[in-house]
Structures are given as structure tokens and as C-alpha cells.
Structure 1
Amino acid sequence: MARTTMEDVAKAAGVSRALVSLAYRNASGVSESTRARILSTGNQIGYVHNRIAASLASTKPASIGVFLQDLHNDFFADVYDGIREIAEPKARQLVLSVGSRNHDRDASSLGTLEGAQVGTIIAAGLRMADSDALAHSQRTPLIAIARHIPGVDSVYSDNVFGGQLATEHLLQLGHRRIVFLANPPTDGYLGRREGYETSMLEAGLKPRVIESTYARSDAAEIATELLADTEAPTAIFAHNDQAALGVLDALAARSLVPGQDVSVIGYDNSSVSNTPGTALTSIDLHALELGREATRLALRRFENPDLEPQLVTSTPSLVLRATTGPVST
């Protein structure tokens, strides 16, 4: 059965399609009696108004584009929950686009949202160069989450401090052979490594950084090699919780107990870190609040497009669980 269209409503009500569109958008130029007649006619013939399409077609779009780097990482799901919590009560439609672990889809995903004519884009986990992100923001206002991009609205958690927090926790437990499993180096994501290296050097220790990817399996493979080393680390600080889970996989394969044989700490405090059997010590970026703040900033940008680029900062915190403990003697 064919879907009832706006043209069908116009024909049944004896008015133009443009007038029907204005009526459903509650725009000026339509009398109350005419609007009531059009809406009543639409209801009678079974017309369902597509609010998302109407939002996208508006000259002042009410929709918010959301870019998430990777749906395999629970951190981004938590961010999305925060976005939705603020957007939905304000009747803002969310249009979602997902990137990839190796960031080769960042530009095309943003392009998809721009093509949908969203009013602004909230981007969590964007890994393109600062200059490219700035160029995108000049076409459609962009709010970056968990990363500070100069000239772009950013909601940022202090990653340098977070890296120090994790490393100093392990140092206080007596660990000296601490390896940092680093993310691929890109603009905006070097703070955790910097915090680790600073704390190690201040403790008179040589930092040991090994670059990984965003895949859990790759982190597990690297950890397996580390654990077989004659100078195996007593503690591993992973750049995010997914990488830390890969380290836990490697420990389990060797029948080693996290927090006793080797300490492991992640970053993000995603929902998976607190599941039974995992109990991962992690640095909490407060993902829900990052999503909320980014959406509040997006709403301010709707109201004031000429607002100077905003930077909202927050302080991460350490969440202690079972995977870290005193160095084994």
C-alpha cells in the first residue's frame, strides 16, 4: 500500500503543498483555522508527518549530527546516552554516522552529516588533523568531544592529568617496570602518553611506550609478547579500556591474575570495565557528562551562531577495581 504523502493532504484539503508544509511546521503565514483544517485532513487520510525530514529540510535545521568513532567501544555508547539525554527533551533530532577504527572514514562520515544539512555536528573520537576538522567546522558547526581542537568548540577531559593519575597510582603501588600501550599518534590524542612519560621521568624511571591500534586483539598480541620478555612489565597502562581488555586476555591465556601477577589499568571507565569478571581499574572521563555538555554547547550554538569557539574542560578521576595491586615480590 502506497504511503500517504504531503501532496495527498494538499489535494484532499484543496490547498497547495507549500501551505501544507507551512502548516505542519507551524510556520507563520497560515491562519489557525486553515492549519487546523489541514492537520485534520492529514489525520483523516492517514498522513504521518516525518519530523526528521522536516528538520533536515528547514532553513534553520533543528537536527544534530552525531559522529561516533567506533560502536565496538562502550565509551562512545556512553557518550551517546549523554547526548540523547539532553537532546530529546529539547525535541532535537539526532542523525548518527559512525567512523572506523583506523579513521579512514572520518571525512566521509562528516560529509554524510553535512549532506544531511544538520544544524551542528557533535564528534566523539574524531582523529583527522586539526586543520581538516577546522575546515569541516567552517561548513557546519562542529563540537569535538574528548579532544581540544583549536578554533573549534571542544568538550575536553584533561588527558595529561589523566595519564599522570594512572601512572602515579601504579608508582605508589611499587611498580617500576610500567609499560604504556599507546594509541596511534594523531592530533589531539597525545595527552595520555605525555602524562605517563612525565610521571615516569619525575620518578627517575625510563618510559617504555609501545604503540598499538584501537583493536582489542592487537593489544592482546602485543601484551603476549611483553609478558614473554625477560624484563616483562609488572604493570601495563593501556590507552583505553578496549586495549586494557586485550591485555587481560593475554594474562588469562598465561593463567596470570591481574592485580596480583601483573597490574593493568585502562582509560575511559566505559561500562564494560565494571562488568563481573572484569573489574578493571580505569580513568574515568565521565563520558555521560561529556555527551551532555557537548549537547548543551550545540544548543547554545543554535541560538548564537556567531559565538566565539568554546572550550569546556573537565577533570578525569581514578576508579579503583581489582586489576591493580602492589607489585609482586
Structure 2
Amino acid sequence: MAVTASMVKELREMTGAGMMDCKKALNETNGDMDAAVEFLRKNGQAKAEKKAGRIAAEGIVMAEVKDDKVAAIVEVNSETDFVAKNAEFQGFVKAVVEQAMETEAADMDAFMAENWKEDTSKTVKDALTEKISVIGENLSIRRFEKVVSDGCVVAYIHGGGRIGVLVEADTDVVNDEIKTCLKNVAMQVAAMSPKYVSREEVSEEYMEHEKEILLAQAKKENEESNKPKPDNIIEKMIVGRLNKELKEICLLDQVYVQDGDLTVAKYVEKVAKETGANLSVKKFVRFETGEGLEKKNEDFAAEVAAQMGN
């Protein structure tokens, strides 16, 4: 029986095995799909299918920077922390981040479909499937981001890959002082987990939504109070609480962890003045391993903050 491309595709989707492995299995079994699945299972090439339902919530974040201008960060997950510390797994993650450094992909689907840099006969997805078979756990390339900068970009990795951060800055000076400043800002992002660089990034929709919540809270407090406040005082309370929230979620408004007398914005201004640079933080990327997945909760942000306080 002639083996068609659609048959190979179907077998790949059923087993997660590589394209050439599927083609060989179908040829060996004269196109019998069930027999081909058995063939792949017997050869250890369909392991991924059996493990795909298991949650991969451990793993590591890894980042790479080239010439202070190009950077990539990836999160690759495993099922257990034991495997996350395994040299085979870490070598694979390093290959993934090197792939991300050169990628033109805009999303995970395109990234997974790219030719694997280390063996262009495979896709990234094929390489992942093969690594699952070798390691024997479900693995997942969860996310990546590539940053190409006209200024400077730095990376910071905390806790052996528990948290990873990229910080990009617009700057006309790139030297050790500037890079140290940006590394300190990256540590701040790791510790304090801001949502935005500055207030300018916060949407009106978000602001209105928060105001509604704060208004409901204030009205409830007023109803339960022995001394209800007039509407104009409630309005001021809402403005004050919103400002407090913005100081927590906007990086530049945050109190700088390494010097409580400064905000992050003031710290960056101070370094800019000392170095004679036009320096401003443009963006950040923060990945925390297993963030949002089912896993044991650990307060990595507090761990970073404690480390910075030493």
C-alpha cells in the first residue's frame, strides 16, 4: 500500500513521533495505522503520546544575549524538578534558546514548525518529541521571546532558572555602569513582578475597571462605617488607592529594592546623570517557571527580594 503524506501526518498527530520515523513505520507495516503505532511504541518513538497528558510544570527559564543587542528567553518545562536539573535536559534548553536567538517566528506554532538548528531534517517539535522519548518525561517548550535592540538589552536569571528576565533600554551609552544598572533593574523585575514599565502603558480600560472595583470597596466600607464619608471624600480615596496600586504594578514607580529612598525611575535617572547617558527603560520580559500551571506554590519573588536585601 502506498504511504501518503496525509497518513504520515495522521500518525504523527496520534503518536507525536518524528516525520521520518512515522514514514518508516508505515512502510514497515504496509500502511496499517494500528500496526504502525505498535511499531513506533516498540521502538520507543511514541513515548510522547503516553506522557502528553501529564502536567509539565517544573523546568527552567534560560536566556542568552549577544553583543548587548540581541537577546532571547525561553521557558521549557518538565514534570519533575529532578529532570530540570538533569544535564541532558539543560543541554536541550540551551539548544532551544539558541534556536530562539535566530528565529523569525512570531508565535509558538511557527517556532515549533521551524527547522531545528542542530539538525535541519527535523522541526523543533520533532526535536522535542525525541527528547521526551530519551528523558522519559513529558516536556514542553512553553514560551519564548526574542528582543532586538538599538540600545542595550541584559538578562538576569534567578535561582538556577526559576525566574528569568530581559530588560531593554534606549541608551546612547553602553558600558559596564549602564549594564550593571539594567541588571539591577532586571533583579527588581524578578523580585517585584511589575505588570508595566510605566503608567503610560496602562490602558484606560484597566484604569476604569480598577476604579469600579475600588468604588465598590469604598461604598461597602462606607455602609459599614459609623461615620460615613461624603462622595467627594470617597472620590479622593479612590484616586489615592489607584495611585498606590499603580506604584506597585508600574516598574518605574516602584520603590527601588536596593535603595528605599529612590524609585526605580530615580535610580535610572541617577545612573544616567553619572554616566552622561540618555537612558530610559523601554521594556521587560519576565518568565517564571510553571507560572499559572498546576504546581506547588513557592514564593520565588520573596526569595529574590531577600537576596537583593543582603
Q: Same fold (TM over 0.5)?
A: no
Q: Per residue, is there more helix in 1 or in 2?
A: 2
